[in-house]
Copies of this chain bind each other. A is one copy, B any other.
Amino acid sequence: MLWSGWGDPAQARELPEHLRKLLRDLLGVRAPHVPAATLESVRLPPVALPAPLLEALAAIAGAEHVRTGHEDRVRHTRGKSTPDLLRLRAGDGSDAPDAVVLPGSHEEVAALLELCARERIAVVPFGGGTSVVGGLAAGRAGFAGVIALDLARLDRLRSVDAESMVAEFEPGVRAPDAERLLAAHGLTLGHFPQSFEYATLGGFAAARSSGQASAGYGRFDDMVVGLTVATPAGTLELGRAPKSAAGPDLRQLVLGSEGAFGVITSLRLRVRRAPAERVYEGWRFASFAAGTAAMRALAQEGPLPTVLRLSDETETMIGLAKPDAIGSGGGSGCLLIAGYEEPPAEAGEPGRPAEPPAEAGEPGRPAVGSPASAAGRRGAVAAVLARMGGEFLGEEPGRAWERGRFSAPYLRDSLLAAGATVETLETAGFWAGLPRLYDAVRLALVGALGSPLVMCHVSHVYETGASLYFTVVTPQEDDPVAQWERAKAAANAAIVEAGGTISHHHGVGRDHRDAYAAEVGPLGVAVLRAVKSALDPAGILNPGALIPHADTVSDG
């Protein structure tokens, strides 16, 4: 992964000339004067942890798993938000941890937390490092030092229960490795967020991730049926049944806790049979309103495809749903992508009945048939989309989306290098409130940035509402971090004011912390603090993330 950007440096690309021209002519973007820092030139604070504490950490995790080298520290500095990258590109490594510690077991994690609580060492649990909300920069005040607790060594698939369709994983397994390990059993998680290539299962759980195929496979929190959590106060073992009426669902308190309550050391996840076929197709709607109405019809009346995504007029025009073809013109109206992933029809296996045969459809049109067959579901979705005014565009737009589905973060690197400030932010709300939420965020970004390019898509739908995901591009000012902070504050305020949630799938971290406090109110914050005090009385876990400092929120 690129230390100051996203993903595999081999995949980084120069922007094509037609896109450079578009940025220049449409937005007035110009290449920056100052070259980006090199990894070696990043300025790090001296290691604050004294040698005896480093030795105590090494006594638990092994000396080779306690690392204080320059590159290790740089690579664990903050996450992958736009200001995170801007600061690193400017050589600012001030948030670097003192050491990177890689435990090899639940017991080592528990022992490290006990040591750190006793010695007041702040601990930032670190999975793929892909936070885009400031989830990985710990506050140092009052601590002897900060460690990044990198879970990369906890990378095993522990067991597969093919009868219950539950797989137990360690938290440091990266998503592609999880899919590879499950594929050997003919299984899949079906969780494909944009961070797929790098993020870990523990991170998905801690941050309540939601993937591009959420319409078919659900959110990551829907997949979690059991968790083991190491905390400074002991171990939580949660999840004896898929669902229970035995009190509040404490799993739901760990999901979204962003490392502030404990460290997830095991996940029991619902798995599905791996799809035999994947088909993605495009539809055009006259307007964003018409397209969202069609999505709502599918979410409320069914059936849902596996992937369902709608770009607004601007995103369609720019072609952002097809990052590999961006700037080459996406056409008018609003592009909707629908995808279908279906398990193979297999007869005879116990408990695995074959699918009923799909019905024959009209020529040139997918059939309306059984819900359990791709062709049948595809036809039923098509019938709804056509009735709601959609124009079928065939599979080419779907293939273009599939090729580029994980490309947007790479594109951000190229845009930053070209002198643009680019950021993504997201929210969710109930259907009736979405138009107001959409307008409020766009207005806030325009108000803060002048005349940026603001694009939006809906990529997660529910019976009662949906998410909105914004991408904003604007010329970099001399202080791009200050520019970002201004825009971010305006967008956060607009979301809170318009009644949306401050995040549908990015999480809270530090960037959304104050807006989150407004969302759950002072009593909600008091509940979070009470839980944190019970599990992490010394407050060593990811200090400053998720939960506002006591002096910034009134508990009145």
The chain A residues found within 8 Å of chain B, CB to CB, are 161, 163-166, 207-210, 219, 221, 225, 231, 233-238, 240-250, 252-258, 270, 272-273, 293, 296-297, 300-303, 343, 347, 350-357, 359, 368-372, 376-377, 379-380, 383-384, 387-388, 427-433, 460, 462-467, 499-508, 512, 516, 519-524, 526-531, 533-535, 546
Contacts of A534 in B (CB 8 A): 523, 526-527, 529-530
Question: Is the beta-carbon distance between B527 and A465 smaller than 8 angstroms?
Answer: no
Question: Is the beta-carbon distance between B370 and A380 smaller than 8 angstroms?
Answer: yes
Question: Is the beta-carbon distance between A247 and B359 smaller than 8 angstroms?
Answer: no
Q: A430 with B161: in contact, given A240-B499, A302-B372, A383-B353 (CB under 8 Å)?
A: yes
- Nearest CB on B from A205, distance (A): 11
Interface hub of A236, A343, A355, A430 (most chain B Cβ within 10 A):
A430
Contacts of A519 in B (CB 8 A): 240, 246
Closest residue on chain B to residue A433 by CB atoms:
B164
- Nearest CB on B from A262, distance (A): 9
Q: Top 3 closest A-B pairs, CB basis?
A: A371-B371, A252-B252, A242-B462
Question: Is the beta-carbon distance between A520 and B247 smaller than 8 angstroms?
Answer: yes
Contacts of A250 in B (CB 8 A): 520, 524, 527
Question: Is the beta-carbon distance between B249 and A464 smaller than 8 angstroms?
Answer: no
Contacts of A300 in B (CB 8 A): 165, 272, 351
* Further 8 A-B residue pairs, CB within 8 A, beyond A249-B252, A293-B351: A166-B464, A235-B521, A240-B499, A293-B350, A297-B352, A303-B372, A370-B380, A371-B376
| Bound Cα distance A432, B160 (Å) | 11
Question: Is the beta-carbon distance between A249 and B255 smaller than 8 angstroms?
Answer: yes
Q: A357 with B353: in contact, given A247-B528, A533-B530, A535-B523 (CB under 8 Å)?
A: no
Question: Is the beta-carbon distance between A245 and B506 smaller than 8 angstroms?
Answer: yes
Contacts of A243 in B (CB 8 A): 210, 219, 221, 428, 460, 462, 504
**Which one of B236, B372, B429, B503 lies within 8 Å of A380 (CB-CB)?**
B372
| Bound Cα distance A210, B246 (Å) | 12
- Nearest CB on B from A470, distance (A): 15
| Bound Cα distance A357, B196 (Å) | 39
Question: Is the beta-carbon distance between A235 and B353 smaller than 8 angstroms?
Answer: no
| Bound Cα distance A384, B241 (Å) | 25
| Bound Cα distance A240, B235 (Å) | 31
Question: Is the beta-carbon distance between A301 and B380 smaller than 8 angstroms?
Answer: no
| Bound Cα distance A270, B503 (Å) | 21
| Bound Cα distance A350, B429 (Å) | 20
Q: A302 with B371: in contact, given A241-B500, A249-B255, A524-B236 (CB under 8 Å)?
A: yes
| Bound Cα distance A53, B403 (Å) | 71
| Bound Cα distance A204, B413 (Å) | 50
Interface hub of A383, A388, A534 (most chain B Cβ within 10 A):
A534
Contacts of A270 in B (CB 8 A): 463-464
Contacts of A387 in B (CB 8 A): 347, 353-354
Contacts of A219 in B (CB 8 A): 243
**Which one of B254, B500, B521 lies within 8 Å of A236 (CB-CB)?**
B521
**Which one of B234, B248, B273 lies within 8 Å of A255 (CB-CB)?**
B248
User: What are 28 A-B interface contacts by the 8 Å CB criterion?
Assistant: A163-B296, A165-B464, A166-B464, A208-B244, A231-B523, A240-B429, A240-B499, A240-B501, A241-B430, A241-B501, A243-B462, A244-B428, A244-B503, A245-B503, A248-B528, A250-B527, A252-B253, A253-B527, A273-B301, A297-B353, A301-B353, A357-B368, A359-B359, A369-B370, A371-B371, A372-B380, A527-B535, A531-B531
| Bound Cα distance A516, B523 (Å) | 26
Contacts of A379 in B (CB 8 A): 356
| Bound Cα distance A241, B463 (Å) | 11
Question: Is the beta-carbon distance between B236 and A523 smaller than 8 angstroms?
Answer: yes
Contacts of A369 in B (CB 8 A): 359, 368-370
Contacts of A531 in B (CB 8 A): 248, 527, 530-531
Question: Is the beta-carbon distance between A249 and B244 smaller than 8 angstroms?
Answer: no
Question: Is the beta-carbon distance between A463 and B430 smaller than 8 angstroms?
Answer: no
